[in-house]
């Protein structure tokens, strides 16, 4: 049986038989997307720098009736990225969908921003997205189809003090997404980005813990409450809501959409 004819683990759903590679898949938004895609019939390959929890997440995915693979991945390492994408092909025969969720956050006063910290955020959030896109797209182009979803942020649509590197990196992800989308359109490949607002994840806890001292917010719950006042809907966005939007971008429902950066922020940012 050829790679293109491998049967799906689950024969129903909007992504039935598709193979999805997800970076940052061990927790938060990445894990939520993996479970949503699996529920819709996609086989899932999870990649994360913190590999210890990947087997447990893979087991949750397989409990939904599909296949799952996983590997440790530092997205800043070109050889590692290439090996990871090869592993996806070995397991499932192809890559239909790539979701770039791997990312890091830091907060520093701009005049004191350590260069090594700036480079870290750019390496993970921007270069990592670039490397994974490039490697996966080289495999999608010959097949003339594929979906790429990059996780940006409302940070890519605005500015804020003490977060220069993170906000700059997320602006860059949107620019990368739009440029790559224009090149890939002739190959029948869709490239889009999602810009989440305040999502209740470990990364958001890091935002509260590291930004708080700069704004003299007191405890993190007080800062959370202050930040929520900027959200017209008055609540956090659930990671499962981001996963539903990712499903739309991964499915045939969005075949006419490319180069977009879709905001899901409860009205905090009006795109």
Residue-wise pLDDT for 34-59, tens only, equals: 999 999 999 999 999 999 999 999 99
Give the CATH number of domain 16-198+238-264; options: 3.30.360.10, 3.40.50.1000, 3.40.80.10, 3.40.50.720.
Answer: 3.40.50.720
Burial 49-86 (b: 16+ CB within 10 A, else e): beeeebeebbeebbebebbbbbbebbbbbeebbeebbe
pLDDT of residue 202: 76
pLDDT of residue 254: 98
Query: Among residues of the chain, what percentage have pLDDT more than 90?
Result: 81
Q: Please, what sign has the CA dihedral across residues 138, 100, 175, 147? A: positive
For residue 6, how many other CB atoms are within 10 A of its CB? 16
Angle, CA 173 vertex, CA 89 and CA 23 arms, to 5°: 35
The contacts of residue 175 (CB under 8 Å, 6+ apart) are: none
43-48/19-23 β-pairing: parallel
Beta bridge partners of 261: 193
**What residue segments make up the domains of the chain, in order of their start?**
16-198+238-264
CA proximity to 232, closest of 195, 193, 198? 198
d(CA 33, CA 244): 8
- Kindly calculate the radius of gyration of the chain based on its CA atoms and give it in whole angstroms: 18
116-127 mean pLDDT: 97
- pLDDT exceeds 70 at position 71: yes
* Model-wide pTM > 0.85: yes
Q: Name the band, by pLDDT with cuts 50, 70 and 90, for residue 3.
A: very low
For residue 28, how many other CB atoms are within 10 A of its CB? 19
Q: Name the band, by pLDDT with cuts 50, 70 and 90, for residue 214.
A: low
As annotated, the active-site residues are 166
d(CA 262, CA 153): 9
| Residue 238 Cα distances to 59, 76, 187, 242, angstroms | 22, 28, 34, 7
d(CA 45, CA 19): 8
């Amino acid at each position: 049986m050829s790679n293109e004819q491998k049967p799906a683990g689950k024969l129903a759903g909007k992504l039935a038989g598709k193979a999805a590679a997800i970076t940052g898949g061990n927790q938060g938004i990445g894990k939520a997307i993996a479970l949503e895609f699996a529920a819709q019939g996609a086989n899932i390959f999870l990649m994360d720098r913190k590999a210890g929890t990947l087997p447990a997440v893979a087991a949750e995915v397989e409990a939904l009736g599909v296949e799952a693979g996983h590997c440790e991945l530092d997205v800043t390492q070109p050889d590692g990225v290439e090996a990871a994408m090869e592993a996806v092909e070995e397991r499932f025969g192809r890559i239909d969908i790539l979701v770039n969720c791997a990312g890091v956050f830091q907060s520093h006063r701009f005049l004191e921003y350590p260069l090594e910290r700036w480079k870290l955020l750019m390496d993970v959030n921007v270069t990592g997205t670039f490397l994974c896109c490039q490697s996966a797209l080289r495999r999608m182009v010959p097949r003339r189809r594929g979906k790429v979803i990059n996780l940006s942020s409302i940070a890519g649509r605005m500015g804020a003090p003490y977060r220069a590197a993170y906000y700059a990196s997320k602006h860059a992800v949107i620019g990368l997404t739009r440029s790559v989308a224009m090149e890939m359109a002739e190959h029948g490949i869709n490239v889009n980005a999602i810009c989440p607002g305040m999502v209740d994840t470990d990364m958001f806890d890091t935002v509260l813990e590291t930004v708080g001292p700069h704004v003299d917010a007191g405890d993190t719950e007080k800062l959370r409450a202050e930040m929520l006042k900027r959200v017209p809907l008055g609540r956090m966005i659930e990671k499962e809501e981001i996963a539903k939007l990712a499903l739309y971008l991964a499915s045939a429902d969005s075949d006419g959409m490319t180069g977009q950066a879709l905001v899901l922020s409860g009205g905090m940012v009006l795109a």
